[in-house]
Amino acid sequence: MHIRTTTDPITLRDVPDFEHHPCLYEGDGEHGLEIYFENERTKKMYTALKPHDPLVLRGADSDDYVAEG
């Protein structure tokens, strides 16, 4: 699945003419997310963002998960 978003994630403004604005593609070519930005400055701000506490999940433990509570 290919998802395209034309809302700049920094300014939250719509990018109506997305063909003439900077874009960032995250994915493998067939499946991914295409994000459009108002300008190069907001694209750089977005790519500079780092999660506060990145969590990396490994393994396939979800099959054994039982919710408690």
**pLDDT tens profile 9-42:** 999 999 999 889 999 998 887 899 999 999 999 9
Q: What is the pLDDT of residue 18?
A: 87
How many other C-beta atoms can be found within 10 angstroms of the C-beta atom of residue 11? Answer: 14
Q: Tens digit of pLDDT for each residue in 43-57?
A: 999 999 877 776 766
CA 17 to CA 14: how far, in whole Å? 9
Instruction: Enter the tokens of residue 40.
Output: 């190069």
φ and ψ at 20, to 5 degrees? -115, 25
Q: 66 pLDDT exceeds 90?
A: no
Residue 65 has what pLDDT?
Answer: 62
Confirm if 37 and 22 have CB atoms less than 8 A apart: yes
Number of domains present in the structure of the chain: 1
Instruction: Give the whole-angstrom CA distance, residue 58 versus residue 20.
Output: 39
Rounded to two decimals, what is the model's pTM? 0.69
Residue 41: inside a domain:
yes
Residue 6 has pLDDT above 90, yes or no: yes
Q: Is residue 66 part of a domain?
A: no
Tokens standing for residue 65: 């998960």
Q: Which domain holds residue 37?
A: 2-48
